[in-house]
Structure 1
């Protein structure tokens, strides 16, 4: 039985109990009519409540903003630990580790306007996984990672999308490493944190105009590998990751104009599920998004608003839970592809629209 949260008052008991209190028949009638209208209004509200309760009891459907849609699956070999960048609304992705534990060197482009993949010239350096990528202007850059002998790398390579060619540029300024984070602001790329045998927090800036790396302010929080970063209004927001087997929940913003990292609010108790490593992050329309990776509630999508410095959940990733995936944004959508869960490797591609309602049965 559904118990409505209202107790109705009858018209009979609403009437005056004495003649002295009764001003006139017409006023009593008016009072009764008014009470009847109130009762009808309460009844309608009660029916709405009962419908809601019945609906909740009879269905597990949940709706929220933030919808995922399957797109054309990646045409290369399923993999994890790949690297990517975006140039002129085209995503470029390659390298990584396949399900036979073979390192990969192939490279691909995804055009969301055509929903199609095109194979490009193989990556110029050695096959690798857990490297990083970023784009500056019309050029993309990939470096660091681990090679076939599990040796950590520090070489960097530039991709010319127009010529479809690679050329070696200056080696990364820090130590050879895996699991670093990377981003680009204005005319420079930034790479830092990761693991070179020890956890790291140093940060370096690459200037393509001078082909040189410069050490900048170290990441503001603890050392880590497997963090995420995204850029909003020329400010880099970074966090998550793993430090000595502990998932991190601090969050920082970097201003390249002042070379300063500023701590933002740590994730509160009810937001502890954001702590993870090797997830994905991307920014759409002034807000950042983090999902997947190793952590609790890993498929939950978290939205960060830099104007309020607050996080909110916005739906659930609708593909398989995974680590070491690739995430990027083009236009008003975010994208997730590849990754691994145990020995399984993935080649599916999903796009994320934060303005569309997600319905989960």
Structure 2
């Protein structure tokens, strides 16, 4: 599929321009998708992921029958292999959050099989392959929040406790405490997408009062402040529960909509472009992560089909 796009772009003198209101969105033929060893757990959506070193950890979520899950797995890109780990010890859940700080991973919040919202949090030690409960999330129990890591702390915010939220909290693993931070600069929402570049966290898209959002914001943890950046272009399909990751100082957003477009954000000039589309099926509620110079997308849902395929993305090919 990649070669079709390359031929088309050669025909167009290596440059495709899409109308975007009064802006022009450039397209690059670069970006190569390769299918890898499929996720060895049950096909699912609404899982969590975090990375530690050169390994990715994936677990929880719901299967195609909407049954919540607790199993946990690690993926090693160097070996293209999956290994099952000790199951998450809390209630089976979906729409939780996951993040890592140093050599430990953290999973919490979400919604259980009885539609009860949760705020418990657990720490995973990969060396011991063991979990322990840590301090509950400082905000209200909720689902569909986002999480990221900066400055030696984990940040969790937005989501829904029955109402859409915009509060943010920072978890300090050394003290096992949560501290309230500046509220997200945009509207309260669920299903947003985030990534971190050079000590700034970027957050956007999602749903606010059931209306899709395309605004985009940067968070500076040292200043505890949000700055609005250029919105996702108007040509972008409505998007929630998408995947975001950063590679070599560039951010990528994909899935979570009715198309396979890969949106690329360059923070140096606050601009967007597109690259070779995602080559898996259209989906939402997938997970994504970056290791070394590649991004990865796996699991997710389309209509009633849950996925277990895994794709890697090399942005430079």
Q: Would the aligned equivalents of 1:226 and 1:277 in 2 still touch at CA under 8 Å? A: yes
**Residue in 1 that maps onto 2:15:** none
The 5-angstrom pairing of residues 206-245 of structure 1 reads: 206-245=171-210
Alpha-carbon separation, structure 2, partners of 1:73 and 1:265: 35
The secondary structure found in structure 2 opposite 1:125 is coil
Q: Would the aligned equivalents of 1:267 and 1:274 in 2 still touch at CA under 8 Å? A: no
CA shift for structure 1 position 268: 4.0
Q: Pick from 285, 290, 303: which aligns with 1:329?
A: 290
Q: Does 1:162 align with 2:127?
A: yes
The secondary structure found in structure 1 opposite 2:133 is strand
Cα gap change, 1:216/1:163 in structure 2, threshold over 3 Å: closer, same or farther? Answer: same
**Residue in 2 that maps onto 1:291:** 254
CA shift for structure 1 position 344: 0.4
Alpha-carbon separation, structure 1, partners of 2:81 and 2:255: 24
Aligned length: 294
Unmatched segments (≥5 aa) in structure 1 = 1-50, 54-61, 357-361
Q: Would the aligned equivalents of 1:274 and 1:302 in 2 still touch at CA under 8 Å? A: no
Q: Would the aligned equivalents of 2:145 and 2:190 in 1 still touch at CA under 8 Å? A: yes
The secondary structure found in structure 1 opposite 2:315 is strand
Alpha-carbon separation, structure 2, partners of 1:149 and 1:105: 15
Q: Pick from 96, 99, 104: which aligns with 1:131?
A: 96
Q: Pick from 32, 46, 67: which aligns with 1:102?
A: 67
Unmatched segments (≥5 aa) in structure 2 = 1-9, 13-26
Q: Does 1:340 align with 2:305?
A: no
Q: Does 1:185 align with 2:150?
A: yes
CA shift for structure 1 position 124: 1.5
Cα gap change, 1:274/1:181 in structure 2, threshold over 3 Å: closer, same or farther? Answer: farther
Q: Would the aligned equivalents of 1:340 and 1:346 in 2 still touch at CA under 8 Å? A: yes
Q: Would the aligned equivalents of 1:136 and 1:186 in 2 still touch at CA under 8 Å? A: no
Alpha-carbon separation, structure 2, partners of 1:189 and 1:108: 21
**Residue in 1 that maps onto 2:56:** 91
CA deviation map 1:137-183 (0-9, x unaligned): 00000000000101010000000000000000000000011110110
Cα gap change, 1:236/1:63 in structure 2, threshold over 3 Å: closer, same or farther? Answer: closer
**Residue in 2 that maps onto 1:43:** none
Which structure is larger by alpha-carbon Rg, 1 or 2?
Answer: 1
User: What is the RMSD computed on CA atoms of the aligned residues?
Assistant: 1.5
**Residue in 2 that maps onto 1:198:** 163
CA shift for structure 1 position 266: 2.4
Q: Would the aligned equivalents of 1:249 and 1:274 in 2 still touch at CA under 8 Å? A: no
The secondary structure found in structure 1 opposite 2:166 is strand
Alpha-carbon separation, structure 2, partners of 1:152 and 1:336: 26
* Structure 1 length-normalised TM: 0.80
**Residue in 2 that maps onto 1:115:** 80
Q: Does 1:267 align with 2:267?
A: no
Q: Does 1:246 align with 2:211?
A: yes
Cα gap change, 1:258/1:67 in structure 2, threshold over 3 Å: closer, same or farther? Answer: same
CA deviation map 1:3-56 (0-9, x unaligned): xxxxxxxxxxxxxxxxxxxxxxxxxxxxxxxxxxxxxxxxxxxxxxxx959xxx
* Structure 2 length-normalised TM: 0.90
Alpha-carbon separation, structure 2, partners of 1:90 and 1:63: 29
CA shift for structure 1 position 96: 0.6
More helix by share: 1
